[in-house]
Amino acid sequence: MNAVEIKDLYKSYENGKIKALNGVNLTVKDGEFVSIIGPSGSGKSTLLNMLGALDVPDSGSIEVAGQNLNNSKKLNEFRAEKIGFIFQLHNLIPNISVVENIEIPMYTQKLSSKEMRKKALKLLDDVGLKEKAKILPNKLSGGERQRVAIARALANDPSIILADEPTGSLDSKTSSKILRQLIELHESKKVTLIIVTHDMDVAKLANRVIEVLDGEIISAGDDSLINSKIDV
Ligand SMILES: Nc1ncnc2c1ncn2[C@@H]1O[C@H](COP(=O)(O)OP(=O)(O)OP(=O)(O)O)[C@@H](O)[C@H]1O
Ligand SMILES: [Mg+2]
């Protein structure tokens, strides 16, 4: 099965004045690790938001983890069950503790509060922050917050992780630590990993580098574009 299948996806803003996605076609296989690169404003976040059903396209079809997102009425469920999000501005909830932040995605699972806590602490331990469980997020460094965001993204055992500049604001040491953790996960649990980055060194770690320019995929890191051109 494919993790992602996008066909002829268009998305514009401001009544069509801004064409953010301009006919995107993309397939990502189950368990693949791909990176998405491209200049600022080229449509990377828009594409990622579509994959996570955070925004709806103007036209085109989009299927993620076997679910057609066009006519699904269960997008909340889809997100809760299948997707792990890591945003650049790791949007942790400020007035609850680190461990409680990680428990949020678990509420859709049938776990007791004791089980949730156990699982959250294990996830925190995996990112090296078990001792920070009880404190508020604003007491953490940027890198530590990002690691909490990773732990939270994994709390629902997602089949796909969508990460928008997960290392954007971090120093190189913290950044490579976070990447190692994501890659470890991808390798051990066969999670599909899709990372948006402007850092070519980060992008090259992926199985495939997808290049976006002006709302179009100009290189998919394989021969899919060549084939699609032969087809027509
Ligand atoms: N909610 C919105 N309303 C209006 N325009 C938007 C909106 N979101 C994005 N855009 C525009 O759509 C285009 C694509 O934006 P997008 O955020 O996808 O770019 P990006 O590749 O992620 O850029 P960056 O590298 O700076 O994060 C840009 O021209 C942007 O200004
Ligand atoms: Mg962006």
Q: Which CATH superfamily is domain 2-231 in?
A: P-loop containing nucleotide triphosphate hydrolases (3.40.50.300)
- At 133-186, the pLDDT tens digits run 999 999 998 888 988 998 999 899 999 999 998 887 677 887 888 888 889 889
pLDDT at residue 227 tops 70: no
Q: Residue 179: which of 123, 127, 124 has the closest Cα?
A: 127
Q: What spatial distance separates the first Cα and last Cα of the chain, rounded to whole Å?
A: 25
Which backbone phi and psi does 162 adopt, to 5 degrees? -110, 120
pTM of the predicted model as reported, rounded to 2 decimal places: 0.89
Q: Could you tell me the distance, in angstroms and rounded to a whole number, from the CA of residue 155 to the centre of ligand 1?
A: 28
Q: Residue 1: which of 192, 147, 155 has the closest Cα?
A: 192
pLDDT at residue 231 tops 50: no
The pLDDT-based confidence of 225 (bands split at 50, 70, 90) is low
Q: Closest Cα to atom 7, ligand 1: which residue?
A: 13
Q: Could you tell me the distance, in angstroms and rounded to a whole number, from the CA of residue 137 to the centre of ligand 2?
A: 23
Residue with tokens 């290189």: 219
If one residue of 9, 11, 13 were mutated to test the ligand 1 pocket, choosing by the most ligand atoms within 8 A of its CB, it would be 13
Task: Say yes or no: CB of residue 20 within 6 Å of ligand 1.
Answer: yes
Residue with tokens 């190189």: 172
Q: Where in the chain are the domains?
A: 2-231
Note the Cα 74 to chain centre separation in Å: 19
- At 43-80, the pLDDT tens digits run 999 999 999 988 899 999 999 999 999 877 788 888 88
